[in-house]
Structure 1
Amino acid sequence: MKILKYITSLSLIVAVGQSAVAQVLEKREKDWKPSEIYLSADVVGLTRLLNGDVQNEFQGKIDFDVFYLAADWGRSNLSSKGEGFDYSSKGSFFRVGPQVNFTPYNKNRSSIYFGLMYAHASFSDQIDYAGVDQQWNQTNLSYSNEDLRANWLEATMGLNAKIIGPLYMGYVLRFKMAKVLTGDGTLAPYEIPGFGAASKNSVFGFNYYITYRFGLRDKPIPIRPKIVKKRVEEEE
């Protein structure tokens, strides 16, 4: 009986060696022709209006298969006052980079995406001091940077969900890193437009967007590829 069991087991091993069943993912036909444009406005920056500051930020992106090419533009006009000083800065920034959509099969065209972006800011700042010297005379000092520039990289993760019709809403989490600042002199800049605290080399950021989708053509929702079984015959 043991010999029969060994023969049966050996026969099964040989059979598996001769032919195997593999699971493969069906190939999906890719569509690189653009079909939609998203235009977005950030609402987080509007909260700074309560302090008298201005910070506007906008985004546009276009699709290529399951990818997007995104571009941001923004401007800021910030000020801060305290006892004996008055600080102000103004400038603009842009970002550009690719995104990949992890949910291309969503019937509402909502998306969860990851992106990498290059960013650049051009700005100026100034600080005015008012005080008295040792002889109790009024003194006024002023320092400024007229041509500040900053570059950095961003890794982003975002969600864009359909609300009604072509209207979407969503948020973006940003990790800003590898900052390079040039043009600063005696005055150390306090904040970089689009980046944040100038004293830090890496920071986190957050945007909440209201988005309008413009359809360029009627692109069908892609069908999710199925896992199929394929028999692979071993070469003799």
Structure 2
Amino acid sequence: MSCCQYGRRGLLETITRLPSQGWYYGSISQLQAERLLSNEPSGAFLVHDSVDTNSTTELFTITFKISNHYGSVRVDYAKGYFSLCIADPGLPLFKTLMDLVSFCYHLSTVQKRPVCVLTGQSGQTHNVHLYLTKPVSRHKQLHSLQFLCRDTLHKLVTKDKLERLPLPKRLLELYVSRNPLFDEQLFPCEESGWLDTDTLSQSSGSSRNSLALDTAGNH
């Protein structure tokens, strides 16, 4: 088997197995990812699609919580392997995204070593030692009935046939066709499209803590 074929096999395995991984939430925004981590301890993390980039190699993002702040590191896919998209993280290359996440979790929890060291930006002088110690699983959440119905539809009906279901067009476009891995009703925010104007106006003044990190940190 050639290196190219081996690489495609790893990518195919990743795409096939990802929906069953509890820590993977599909196409969600950074804000939604942070909402999911808001009640979790330091070291909590999840994986989602890199929806805010035009890069053809940065397919996924690991969003994490460290000391009540949030940050993210992109996952790069190139030449048949997955790796963290930072300069010299000191990690090996991985055939699948699951292998990368498993290695980082084991490094953090068993070996008690940071995955990498991220350097501060915007006047910050401290570095952040990244430990990924708690994958936040959507399987452990008590989901709404609407979400469970949508999840069942996506498991039983292929995407190309979803729009042909005998349901109102608005329901198909605004709910059925949305990301089946993310329950908006558990973690509502402005981007979900399901909040009324009164709720939006009340939440517009909320603040959030984010880590300003330079992803060119070294291990």
User: For the superposition of Structure 1 and Structure 2, which TM-score range results when normalised by the shorter chain?
Assistant: under 0.3
TM (normalized to structure 2)?
A: 0.24
| Structure having the higher Rg | 1
Higher helix share: 2
Higher strand share: 1
